[in-house]
Structure 1
Amino acid sequence: MVLESTSTLNDTVPKVDGRAVIGNTWEFKKDRLELFQRTFETCGDLGVYSLAGEDVFLANSVELVHEILIKHGSLFEKTDRFRAFARPLLGDGLLTATNEDHKRNRRLIQPRFRTAVIRNSADSAAQVAGTVAERWEDGSVIDVRREMVRLVLGMVGRNLFSKDILGEADDLGNALTDAIHGFDSQASALVPLTIGWPTPANLRYRSAIRRLERTFYTFLAERRAMAEKPDDWLNLLMECTDDNGVPFDDKEIRDEALNMFMPGHETTATGLAWSFHLLSKYPKVYDRLLAESDEVLGGRLPTLEDLDRLPYALQVFKEAMRLYPPVYMFSRQATADVDILGHRIPAGASVIFSPYVLHRREDYFPDPQRFDPDRFAPEAEKQMRRHSYIPFGAGHRVCIGNHHALLGGHVALATIAGQVRLHSLPGPSPVKEPMVTLRPKGELRMRVTRRNQGTTATATPPPRTAEADAAPACPYGHQVETT
């Protein structure tokens, strides 16, 4: 059933049915992916559902991505609701900043972030992945979701702080999970409450923020005391200055560091967890991944120079993020009345994009439920509709860490493939848990079969060439949106 739009919306935009007063709020809390899919199937490319008394647009086509996020991107900000529940943790960093502040800070951070530490990122990813996988005993059962969180926190710890934080990974991972639950509790509340209200979710959220801040400020104090500072993301932030030459203060560094730390771990860890689930269900795909790792690496850790010769590992990771995009939804809010492809989006209205639903359009991805990494083979990827694949968003606010996330997933898959094969246990498939990110709900238990006695970093890699050192830092394909 399709209801007529409210008076604030263009009459040509259809609306899904909902309950009196609360609209589709219960559906959003219970199964928001199904709500988004139903809205698209019922209403078409642009539809409306109601959340806590507010009408919300769902935009689900490549044309709407282009119109709203790129052509008219300056007229759409992050939503007030997102800022309200994200700022206690993320402050005024890139994820929550206004368009004006975002443009200034991104201009200061982005050039070095993309290039200065990419080689260190590749080396760190391989070393951490190798260390984590070496600990898995043959025949043991591991929680892959938990292990991927530990692995990626280890990567991010090295990239951001030049520190080995694997020993703290479980504690930090729990804090980040509490923060995510706090995000989601406020985002989907019928009556949103500020973080000051002493609800159980808010208390856990505040405790998580304190835990993460303690870690950060300890590391920052240690760094300021160093005579020689390592070339990492924290040093990048400490060296940033505004147009007047004034460096970031501690609060600004804290905000941007946590904006890198939280999304940087969550996107890659979740993408890797779903990758191993899918690989176990598609053994021929898994065989091909293992064969590629064996042929190229022969039992050693990958280097940056190896990545061009490990294309299938990257294709696997990209396809997993098509089916299970960690950032399965994101929102924008119109700052003025905007005409979009014959429809009026009024000032103050929220627009939702769902990569999960967009990536399942059959006209963009034939047989969309099938796991097929060959969709991202170089020539096939070039044929994709632009903006049909947006796991990191699109436009001027595309995730600044998109290339680092792909690099981490690429290296981790190739490294782990050289050491073990993971097998699903009998029983039902994991349940999707769409909170701030699209995690597997609960544990993702898989059995380990060791393929050798461990990958070694001492095996001889191919010689480094001047051409490799001068190559583009992140050649990850046109379908990963950039500014």
Structure 2
Amino acid sequence: MAAVESQARADGGAGAEVPSLAGIPLLGSLFDLKSDSLGTYLRAQAQHGDVVRVTAGPPGLRAELYCVFSAEGAQQVLAAQAANFRKDNAFYQEVRESFGNGLLTSQDEDYLRQRRLVQPLFTKRRVDGYAGAVADETQATLARWEQAPGGVVDVSDEMMQLALRAVARILFGTDVDATVDVVDRCFPVITEYVLRRGYSPANVPRNWPTPGNKRAAAAMDELYAVCDRIIAERRASAGAGDGTGEDLLSLLSAAGSTQDGEFDAAELRDQVLIFLLAGHETTATSLAFSLHLLGRHPEQQARAREEVLRVLGDRTPEAADLERLPYLTRVLKEAMRLYPAAPVIGRSSVAAAEVAGHAIPAGSDVILAPWVTHRHPRYWPDPERFDPDRFTPEAEAERPRYAWFPFGGGPRACIGQHFSMLESVIALAMLLRAYEFEAVDADVPVSAGITLRTEGPMRCRIRGAAG
């Protein structure tokens, strides 16, 4: 093992040798990562510090992961040395082949061109205009809960539906129902396929007629078809001179510049698929865990509801209310600390580098884990405790920038983070104003998929809140 580490240092940048997490002979930490990757990363940090080498798989098919757990290391990888850490690993390639080469997966000039075309559609003024659509979809959820059997709802499922309908409405305008059923049916099949292939040491070609390949291909065909149909109809409507829609697809279709041209139909579909993927699962995770944590902490729930009632009264929340609801925003941020929707972020190093004082060889798979950094005792005393007041302005100013990074960071930071916060605060305000929440399932096991996944129900008992 010492010889392997010495060679890794020789091939890497300046800095100390990276300690290795102990595993079993031949297979390393393969089974630990498969059964509980998030727990394995926590253990690696607790035992060996802020940069740890984790190996998995048999010789010849072995993965070597250089895991970076400190805020300072995350800043180096995502920001200061971002050009050296790319989305070139096997997992991102599988996402790219299934969900297209949109903003989440594209690189280099493709990414820069897409970002320039899309950025004007995500200004604060433009995003604030979507507050009404979020409020309408939240009101529909509240109406549906009036018939909740036994007064119990699974907030994980419910928030996934709310967030999906909200992002589909913002993307497609009146074509919500045409897409929601297809996404509901096809996304789970495709995401399971991506995860299986992305974390496997070897895969058969996608065009081989295996049962898994055929199921995934059928789901992708159905999903692509509904997106292509809506895109074609929207473009035909615009060409006829009557397309005045303000939905995101209409705006994407019209986006263009002398420098970058415009999106063709395939590129539009790639952007739509990525927005659907990244725009609903992440927000749904943050909303669901916010409600679940409040359902376990009645004192904090009462404080959040008091703020909502005092600020909003009976009126519908709007974008300007985000600044008027600071405690509710802190609740959301604390939920995103404990349950980041992207618990693991992967990169691949182009050249040897030094990160957090350790040598990272060229061509390494590098893992950042918000799940671990958000629990790092250097930044978060008593890290498992739910405490929204960790996010007062004074407390935030005392921490490093990347002690909390649920939206990534650097030049690849999530373009939709303001929309996610807007949607989440508006929805939480309306839900808390209407109902009191009591967690039925005290503990909810989770795992790392494309986004954070719950491994069981997340039920809450709801009762009409006293105004």
State the TM-score, normalized to the length of structure 2: 0.90
CA distance in 1, matches of 2:409, 2:20: 25
CA distance in 2, matches of 1:341, 1:363: 15
Q: Given that residues 143 and 444 in structure 1 are in contact (C-alpha distance below 8 angstroms), is that contact kept between their aligned partners in structure 2?
A: yes
Secondary structure of 1:153's aligned partner: helix
Q: Given that residues 149 and 173 in structure 1 are in contact (C-alpha distance below 8 angstroms), is that contact kept between their aligned partners in structure 2?
A: no
Matched, 1:46 2:51: yes
Matched, 1:365 2:380: yes
CA-to-aligned-CA distance 1:308-366 (integer Å, 9 cap, x gap):
21222211111101000010001111112223354332221110000000000111011
Q: Counterpart in 2 of 1:8?
A: 8
Q: Please, which of 106, 114, 122 is the counterpart of residue 131 of structure 2?
A: 122
Secondary structure of 1:351's aligned partner: strand
Q: Given that residues 37 and 447 in structure 2 are in contact (C-alpha distance below 8 angstroms), is that contact kept between their aligned partners in structure 1?
A: no
CA distance in 1, matches of 2:84, 2:63: 20
CA-CA distance at 1:394 after TM superposition? 1.2
Q: Please, which of 439, 454, 458 is the counterpart of residue 453 of structure 2?
A: 439
CA-CA distance at 1:246 after TM superposition? 2.5
Q: Counterpart in 1 of 2:112?
A: 103
Relative to structure 1, the CA distance from residue 202 to residue 390 in structure 2 (aligned partners, 3 Å threshold; closer, same or farther) is farther
Q: Given that residues 65 and 367 in structure 2 are in contact (C-alpha distance below 8 angstroms), is that contact kept between their aligned partners in structure 1?
A: yes
Percentage identity across paired residues of the two chains: 35
Q: Given that residues 420 and 448 in structure 1 are in contact (C-alpha distance below 8 angstroms), is that contact kept between their aligned partners in structure 2?
A: yes
CA distance in 2, matches of 1:3, 1:448: 59
Q: Given that residues 103 and 115 in structure 2 are in contact (C-alpha distance below 8 angstroms), is that contact kept between their aligned partners in structure 1?
A: yes
Q: Counterpart in 1 of 2:69?
A: 60
CA distance in 2, matches of 1:182, 1:421: 38
1:168-187 alignment runs, 5 A limit: 169=180, 171-187=182-198
Q: Counterpart in 1 of 2:160?
A: 149
Q: Counterpart in 2 of 1:85?
A: 94
Q: Runs of 5+ in structure 1 lacking a partner? A: 454-483
Q: Given that residues 437 and 462 in structure 2 are in contact (C-alpha distance below 8 angstroms), is that contact kept between their aligned partners in structure 1?
A: yes
Count of matched residue positions in the alignment of Structure 1 and Structure 2: 452
Q: Given that residues 27 and 35 in structure 1 are in contact (C-alpha distance below 8 angstroms), is that contact kept between their aligned partners in structure 2?
A: yes
Secondary structure of 2:347's aligned partner: strand
Secondary structure of 2:402's aligned partner: coil
Q: Given that residues 353 and 360 in structure 2 are in contact (C-alpha distance below 8 angstroms), is that contact kept between their aligned partners in structure 1?
A: yes
CA distance in 1, matches of 2:466, 2:178: 25
Q: Counterpart in 2 of 1:390?
A: 405
CA distance in 1, matches of 2:157, 2:2: 42
Q: Counterpart in 1 of 2:424?
A: 409
Q: Given that residues 341 and 452 in structure 2 are in contact (C-alpha distance below 8 angstroms), is that contact kept between their aligned partners in structure 1?
A: yes
1:61-460 alignment runs, 5 A limit: 61-115=70-124, 117-137=126-146, 139-163=150-174, 165=176, 169=180, 171-226=182-237, 227-241=242-256, 243-244=258-259, 246-425=261-440, 429-451=443-465
State the TM-score, normalized to the length of structure 1: 0.88
Relative to structure 1, the CA distance from residue 114 to residue 25 in structure 2 (aligned partners, 3 Å threshold; closer, same or farther) is farther
Relative to structure 1, the CA distance from residue 105 to residue 429 in structure 2 (aligned partners, 3 Å threshold; closer, same or farther) is same
Q: Quick one: which amino acid aligns to residue 8 of structure 1?
A: A
Question: Does 338-347 or 321-330 show the bigger shift?
Answer: 338-347
Secondary structure of 2:341's aligned partner: coil
CA distance in 2, matches of 1:198, 1:368: 48
Q: Given that residues 159 and 287 in structure 2 are in contact (C-alpha distance below 8 angstroms), is that contact kept between their aligned partners in structure 1?
A: yes
Which structure's residues are more often helix, by fraction? 2
CA-CA distance at 1:168 after TM superposition? 5.7
Q: Given that residues 423 and 446 in structure 1 are in contact (C-alpha distance below 8 angstroms), is that contact kept between their aligned partners in structure 2?
A: yes
Relative to structure 1, the CA distance from residue 88 to residue 217 in structure 2 (aligned partners, 3 Å threshold; closer, same or farther) is same
CA-CA distance at 1:422 after TM superposition? 2.4
Relative to structure 1, the CA distance from residue 15 to residue 369 in structure 2 (aligned partners, 3 Å threshold; closer, same or farther) is same
Question: Does 95-104 or 151-160 show the bigger shift?
Answer: 95-104
Higher relative contact order (CA 8 A, sep 6+): 2
Q: Runs of 5+ in structure 2 lacking a partner? A: none
Q: Given that residues 89 and 346 in structure 2 are in contact (C-alpha distance below 8 angstroms), is that contact kept between their aligned partners in structure 1?
A: no
RMSD (CA atoms): 2.3
CA distance in 1, matches of 2:382, 2:65: 29
Q: Counterpart in 1 of 2:28?
A: 23
CA distance in 1, matches of 2:113, 2:261: 13
CA distance in 2, matches of 1:206, 1:360: 39
CA-CA distance at 1:387 after TM superposition? 0.9
Relative to structure 1, the CA distance from residue 408 to residue 201 in structure 2 (aligned partners, 3 Å threshold; closer, same or farther) is farther
Secondary structure of 1:285's aligned partner: helix
CA-to-aligned-CA distance 1:21-79 (integer Å, 9 cap, x gap):
33222211110011111221222111100133021100111221222221111111103
CA-to-aligned-CA distance 1:230-249 (integer Å, 9 cap, x gap):
12321232122254463210
Q: Given that residues 438 and 461 in structure 2 are in contact (C-alpha distance below 8 angstroms), is that contact kept between their aligned partners in structure 1?
A: yes
Q: Given that residues 168 and 179 in structure 2 are in contact (C-alpha distance below 8 angstroms), is that contact kept between their aligned partners in structure 1?
A: no
